[in-house]
Structure 1
Amino acid sequence: MWQRGRDGHRSSTDRKGASSKARREPARVLPILKISPRVDYAIRILVDLATRPTGWRAQARGIACRQNIPPAFLYKVLKRLQASGYIDVRRGRKGGVRLIRPADRITLLDVAQSLEGPLVLHPCPHPEACALHELWSRIEADLCAWMACQTIADLAMRERKRGDLSRGSQGGSIGPEFAQAPPEFPR
């Protein structure tokens, strides 16, 4: 049975009078390219550190809170970033996490490949017989070229320009506790 809804569009109703519109679930969005949580968290950690004054040691707990990263996962990612030579992690009272490579020398491609290996969008078992192989290869090459041009310093600069110091609980930005830099570091 069809009927017109309040919005003027027709919708079917079942025997009990429930509209099919109301029963329909929202369409799922399936990503074509999905960045792994490990790479996403690693980039967010590095940007968080790059927004700090040079040499500043951030507490791991603070990074986890500001970036909304589960602490157990944070420590695994920190270990991988340290093994890749991006950060230094010290434990103890005067410890913390700091960048040891300049942020302008760390590209998104470097980070992704150091954590996940080569970037492959669509592994093709038969490249010579696959009609889409050339298309996927071109998209992959373009994406790698773009990621190789984007640095952690670029992202940190965008983060600073946004000046959004209140998003700490949502992740992706420095938290409000860093709105005032310590007196020994110029702002």
Structure 2
Amino acid sequence: MRISTRGDYACRALLSLALRDDEGPTSVRDIAERTGLPQPYLEQILLALKGAGLVRSKRGVGGGYLLNRPADEITLAEIVSAVDGPITLGDFGQPHQDGSCDHEGQCVLLAIWDQAGSHMRQHLNGYTLAAIADISRGEAPWPALTAHELS
């Protein structure tokens, strides 16, 4: 699985909002400047995130975008899914459950791809914007591979 540029940018934009959640609405221009993201593309991404209910916007002077829920309730998996669709390794279909497989070995591989996608979803669900903001501020340790992931 690959996180798209769109998914990465969405995560960066929402992390920027989480890091300054107490400052009120943030303009697209300010988010773009802080994150180094291209403003026109960022506007499209924020509209998708708004449609998914992850952010809300405030119009007028002092307007901009705000997180729609607390940062500790928004996961990376939600953000990526909102702009990229479901987190999977591919659209291969489901393996036959009754042991009858159409093609040699195909169902075993389909089960493995499905399991890998599930691990990716679980991993990304393990990180909230609040946790990542804490890491970014130096208030929590950087993510590290566990002994299980190293073997």
Q: TM-score, normalised by structure 2?
A: 0.77
Measure, in 2, the Cα distance between the counterparts of 1:71 and 1:53.
20
Which one has the bigger helix percentage? 2
Q: Percent identity?
A: 32
Measure, in 1, the Cα distance between the counterparts of 2:119 and 2:26.
35
Measure, in 1, the Cα distance between the counterparts of 2:8 and 2:27.
19
| Alpha-carbon distance change, 106 to 53 in structure 1, aligned in 2, over 3 angstroms | closer
State how many pairs are aligned.
Answer: 130
Determine the structure 1 residue equivalent to 2:54. 86
Determine the structure 1 residue equivalent to 2:42. 74
SS of residue paired to 1:123: coil
Gaps of 5+ in 1: 1-32, 163-187
Determine the structure 1 residue equivalent to 2:26. 58
Determine the structure 2 residue equivalent to 1:35. 3
Of 64, 75, 78, the residue aligned with 1:110 is 78
The amino acid of 2:138's aligned partner reads K
Determine the structure 2 residue equivalent to 1:159. 136
Measure, in 1, the Cα distance between the counterparts of 2:63 and 2:88.
37
Determine the structure 2 residue equivalent to 1:139. 116
Gaps of 5+ in 2: 96-100, 140-151
Larger Rg: 1
Measure, in 2, the Cα distance between the counterparts of 1:55 and 1:66.
14
Deviations 1:23-74 (A, max 9, x none): xxxxxxxxxx321122111111111011114352222111111111111101
Q: TM-score, normalised by structure 1?
A: 0.63
The amino acid of 2:113's aligned partner reads W
